[in-house]
Amino acid sequence: MTGDCQVRFCERLGVKFPLPTRLATLKFTMINKIKYDNNLWFQHKGCEGKHYLIGNPHTHIGRMWAWCPKEERTFFVSKADMGEMSEQARYWVEGYLNGNQPDPPVNKDGDVDFESQEYRIWTNAVELFHETGYWTDEERKCEKCGSALLQSEPTEICRNCLSKN
Ligand SMILES: [Zn+2]
Ligand SMILES: [Zn+2]
């Protein structure tokens, strides 16, 4: 089953623009038909009702493209911002995140060293990535204890410190 609706939006930002305006006609793709599958619903933290997964926005690793019927617009969402979801959505997200996993670190010969410390850290980060759907290439340190943050930690405070709060 699919539902659909018509909306004009900026493809890059996923933002709905009030139309018709001349600017929108010039700059943005015209009417796009958003097709979504009714089975792929999830609750979006900070909004109400069912939202629907659409696809890949090609912005950041782990980010997904979704539809908000309440605001009639598309938006980007990470798994950490999703609440309850359908079983179909759960499998969709899991498959998406598997396909979105960043590559493992390689040594100077370009090979993956499965025994290395970097690889072990990467494994932990990827495991957490499946919970958070977040990934950054920035090197960050925990604001509280100063230990290195995993690339998939969505906050500036490490899990250890968070659990102590
Ligand atoms: Zn919404
Ligand atoms: Zn910490």
Q: What is the distance in A from the centroid of ligand 1 to the CA of 71? A: 6
Please state which of the ranges 11-15, 75-79, 130-134, 138-142 shows the lowest mean pLDDT: 11-15
Considering only residues 2 and 110, tell me which one the structure prediction assigns the higher pLDDT.
110
CB atoms within 10 A of CB 144: 14
pTM, 2 dp: 0.73
Spans of all domains in the chain: 1-33, 36-100, 117-164
Distance 132 CA to ligand 1 centre (A): 19
- Nearest CA among 100, 160, 105, 153 for reference residue 131: 153
| Top-ranked range on mean pLDDT: pick from 15-19, 39-43, 73-77 | 39-43
Mean pLDDT over 8-35 rounds to 48
Task: Tell me which ligand sits closest to the C-alpha of residue 153.
Answer: 2
Token pair 């782990």: residue: 62
Q: Which ligand is nearest to the CA of 72?
A: 1
Q: Say if residue 131's pLDDT is above 80.
A: yes
pLDDT of residue 35: 83
Q: Tell me, in angstroms, the distance from the centre of ligand 2 to residue 141's CA.
A: 8
49 C-alpha to center of ligand 1: Å? 7
Question: Stretch 71-92: mean pLDDT, rounded?
Answer: 95
Ligand 1 midpoint to CA 102 (Å): 28
Cβ proximity of 4 and 34 under 8 Å: yes
The count of C-alpha atoms lying within 13 angstroms of the C-alpha of 144, restricted to the half-sphere facing its C-beta, is 11
Other residues' Cβ atoms within 10 Å of the Cβ of residue 129: 24
Instruction: Calculate how far, in angstroms, residue 51's C-alpha sits from the geometric centre of ligand 1.
Output: 6
132 Cα–ligand 2 center, Å:
17
Distance between CA 154 and CA 75 in Å, rounded? 18
The pLDDT-based confidence of 31 (bands split at 50, 70, 90) is: very low
